[in-house]
Every structure is written in structure tokens, then in C-alpha cells.
Amino acid sequence: MATFANTASAGEKIGVIVVDIQGDFTTYKKGSMAVAGSDQAFVEKVEKTTLMLKEKGYPIFATQDWHPAEHVSFYINHAGKKPFEVIQLEGRTQVLWPPHCVQNTPNAEILLDNNLFFAIVQKGKDRRYDSYSGFQDDGGFKTEMDQTLKNNGIQELIVYGIATDYCVKATAIDAVDAGYKVTVVEGLSKGVALDTTAGVLEEMKAKGIILVKELQ
Ligand code: VGL
Ligand code: ZN
């Protein structure tokens, strides 16, 4: 199988995880949590590259943030709290976000052609727990991601999407912890905040994640 010169591959079966390319995270769709630089051109670049990867034979997985309206991560569900306030919740740190990716709302939809995907893994469905990672939520409840990847013999992952400093990071780190070789593509990812994104790239590197600017 053809691989990329700049990814971790040593002949393993490669899968791709496209993280949370959803209206609410994009300027393209004027989302409630639009991340800088997530315009139509960015989404089109992600779609084009994802199609190229699919045509190479890599199974493409997507994650989809998929919250009930009463979700614990929404500031409106905490009396007197403002967006982006940080609280402690049963010993966990919780950022309080604007409502986003509410189940069955237009801006919760994945903006890429859904025919690209072998499987879509929804996360954050339990109102009690946030879930940046596509593998598990903050309560430790696992999604079907790891089992689906393992069932398909995947040993290595290419990960990209939104947001670099939250869901891409959490998904990539859980993937490493689950034993996959992981490459994160910076040029196909956008971060919520410049300062956290820089630190997060270092954190991912320290975890053994390979960072590439673009696939080449
Ligand atoms: C995300 C915050 C809350 C993300 C999702 O996709 O990075 N961030 N929910
Ligand atoms: Zn969310």
C-alpha cells in the first residue's frame, strides 16, 4: 500500500480520523464556536484531501460532537455562568462552552460528503460528561472507535480536524494510549486559541505523535 514519506508508517494498515468538521465549529457556517480560519476554503481542502486518502484505500472515520440540549458542557445549563468560564465538576475541569452541535440541528452536521466515511463515531451524547476524545468521554465510557479500528486491522492513524487544542489533541492522545501509531496533520487542523495550540502541539510530540504540516 502506498504511504506518505512523512508519516509514521512502516507498512501497517492505516486509518484516518477526521475530527468534528461540523458547522458549529466553522466560520464557514457561522457556528456558535467558530474556530479561526475554518472558512469554506479550509473545509474544501479537508474534503479534497480526505477523498484522496480514501482513494488510496485508507478507511476514513469521522467523529461527530453530538450533544443533547441539556449537556453539562453548555454554560446555559449552569445558572449565572458565562461562556468559556472554567468550573470544577466532580473533580474534573470543565470549560463551559456556548451551546454547540446539538443533536439533529443543522450545525451539528458533518460538512464533508458522508459517503467518504467508513463509520461516523458520535460522542458527547451523555449529558453528564464532556467528550473531546473520539475514544471515550470524561466519565471513562468508551465509544465504539477502538473496537471498530481493531476489527478492521488498523494499526496506524492519520488524525486531523477541529479543534487542534481540544478534540484533535484528545483523540490523538487516546489513540497513542490505545497502541496506535499516530500522525497529526497541522495543515488540516484548526485550533480554538493560538496560545493553547502551540503548547498542545508540544504535548502531542512528547507523547510520540508525529506532527506534519501537510501530507506529502
Ligand atoms: C470541541 C469543545 C467542545 C472540539 C467539542 O471539537 O474540539 N471542543 N466540544
Ligand atoms: Zn462539544
Pocket test for ligand 1, best of 22, 26, 65 (most atoms within 8 A of CB): 65
Residue 3 has pLDDT above 80, yes or no: no
Question: What confidence score (pLDDT) does residue 130 get?
Answer: 98
Question: What confidence score (pLDDT) does residue 6 get?
Answer: 58
Q: Exposed/middle/buried for 36, CB within 10 Å: 0-12, 13-18, 19+? A: exposed
Residue 216 has pLDDT above 80, yes or no: no
Lowest mean pLDDT among 10-19, 82-91, 109-118, 161-170: 10-19
- Residues with catalytic annotation? 20, 123, 167
Residue recorded with cell 471513562: 140
> Does 97 contact ligand 1 (Cβ within 6 A)?
yes
Question: What confidence score (pLDDT) does residue 68 get?
Answer: 98
Q: Which residues pair with 14 in a beta bridge?
A: 156
Q: Ligand 1: which atom is nearest the Cα of residue 166?
A: 7
Q: What are the two backbone dihedrals, phi and then psi, of residue 63, each rounded to the nearest 5 degrees?
A: -105, 150
- Report the pLDDT averaged over residues 8-17: 79
Query: Of the ligands numbered here, which is closest to the C-alpha atom of 170?
Result: 1
CATH architecture of the domain with residue range 5-67+99-212? 3-Layer(aba) Sandwich (3.40)
Provide the residue ranges of all domains of the chain, joining segments of one domain with +: 5-67+99-212
> Does 163 contact ligand 1 (Cβ within 6 A)?
yes
- Report the pLDDT averaged over residues 161-183: 98
* Confidence grade of residue 197 (pLDDT, cut at 50, 70, 90): confident
Higher-confidence residue: 121 or 195? 121
Give this prediction's pTM.
Answer: 0.95
- Report the pLDDT averaged over residues 47-59: 97
Question: What confidence score (pLDDT) does residue 23 get?
Answer: 98
Q: Ligand 1: which atom is nearest the Cα of residue 22?
A: 6
Q: Are strands 86-89 and 92-95 parallel, antiparallel or unpaired?
A: antiparallel
* Confidence grade of residue 33 (pLDDT, cut at 50, 70, 90): very high
Question: What confidence score (pLDDT) does residue 2 get?
Answer: 45
Question: What confidence score (pLDDT) does residue 198 get?
Answer: 86
